[in-house]
A = this chain, B = another copy of it.
Amino acid sequence: MSDLSKLKELFPELEDELYNELIQVGVVKEIPAGTTILQVAQPIRTVMMVLDGVVKLYQEDGEGDEYFVYHIEPGQACAVSMVCAYKQEKSMVTAKSVTDVVMLTVPLEYMDKWLQKYKSWHYFVIKTYRSRYEELLRTVSEIAFRNMDERLEFYLKRQVKQFGKHVKLTHQDIANDLNSSREVISRLMKKMEKNGWINIHRNSFEWIRD
C-alpha cells in the first residue's frame, strides 16, 4: 500500500505495528497553501505529522506583529500539537501551510496510549521536542544578538534551504516574518544584491552565493 510505504519512508524510525495503527486511526488531510492550521489559543485535539508540503510556525503578539520561528517539513511532527493543554497567557503561536500540505492527523488520546506501548513512538516524541527546542534556542539567539542584516541573511538562507535557490517571497512577506518593515528589507536586500549574494526579481529572489 502506498500510504504505508510513504509513512515508512518519511518516518523510518517507527515500529511495524505502529505503522499499521497509524494507518488505521490516522486521518489524512489535504490542506491548501495559506491555511492557518492551528493557533495555540485554542485547544488542540490531534497530533499532526506532515507527509507533504511545508508548514511554517510563527509567533504573534496581539497587535498584528509576527515573528517566524521555524518550518515543519515532511517527516516531522508538530511539537505544539503535542502540547495539548497550552496555558494561554500572552504568547501565541500559529502554524500555517506555506505550500499545499498533506498531513496525517491522529486523535490525541492515542498519543498517550502509544507512548506506553511503542518505544519508538516515545523516542519520536522526545526527538520532536528536542529538535524544536533547539530551533527555538537558535531563534532566541538570532533575535537577541544579531542586527537586522544578519537576521535577514539567516532567514533567507533558511528559505533557500527549504525551497531551493529561487524563493517566492515579496519584501513585505519577509518584513512580516522578521517583524520589520518593508523599506528596511528592501534596502538590505539591495545591498546583498550589490554584494553579489542574490538577484532580486519581482515577487521573488534568487540566491547566487556559496
A interface vs B, CB < 8 Å?
59, 61, 65, 67, 69, 79, 82-83, 86-87, 89-91, 93, 115-116, 119, 122, 125-126, 129-130, 132-134, 136-141, 143-145, 179
Whether the Cβ atoms of A67 and B145 lie closer than 8 Å is yes
Whether the Cβ atoms of A59 and B141 lie closer than 8 Å is yes
* Residues of B contacting A87 in the complex (Cβ-Cβ under 8 angstroms): 134
Residue of chain B at shortest CB distance from A66: B144
Residue of chain B at shortest CB distance from A141: B91
Whether the Cβ atoms of A134 and B86 lie closer than 8 Å is yes
A interface, over-half SS:
helix
Partner of A59, one of B61, B69, B129, B140: B140
CB distance from A121 to the nearest CB of B (A): 11
Residue of chain B at shortest CB distance from A65: B145
For the complex, what is the distance from the CA of A87 to the CA of B83, rounded to whole Å? 24
Whether the Cβ atoms of A143 and B143 lie closer than 8 Å is yes
For the complex, what is the distance from the CA of A151 to the CA of B86, rounded to whole Å? 23
For the complex, what is the distance from the CA of A90 to the CA of B142, rounded to whole Å? 10
Whether the Cβ atoms of B145 and A69 lie closer than 8 Å is no
CB distance from A86 to the nearest CB of B (A): 7
Whether the Cβ atoms of A145 and B179 lie closer than 8 Å is yes
For the complex, what is the distance from the CA of A115 to the CA of B123, rounded to whole Å? 9
Across the A-B interface, the 6 shortest Cβ-Cβ residue pairs:
A129-B129, A67-B144, A136-B136, A61-B145, A143-B143, A91-B141
For the complex, what is the distance from the CA of A91 to the CA of B139, rounded to whole Å? 9
CB distance from A44 to the nearest CB of B (A): 12
Whether the Cβ atoms of A116 and B115 lie closer than 8 Å is no
Residue of chain B at shortest CB distance from A122: B115
* Residues of B contacting A89 in the complex (Cβ-Cβ under 8 angstroms): 138
For the complex, what is the distance from the CA of A143 to the CA of B86, rounded to whole Å? 21
Partner of A133, one of B133, B141, B144, B179: B133
Partner of A140, one of B65, B83, B115, B140: B140
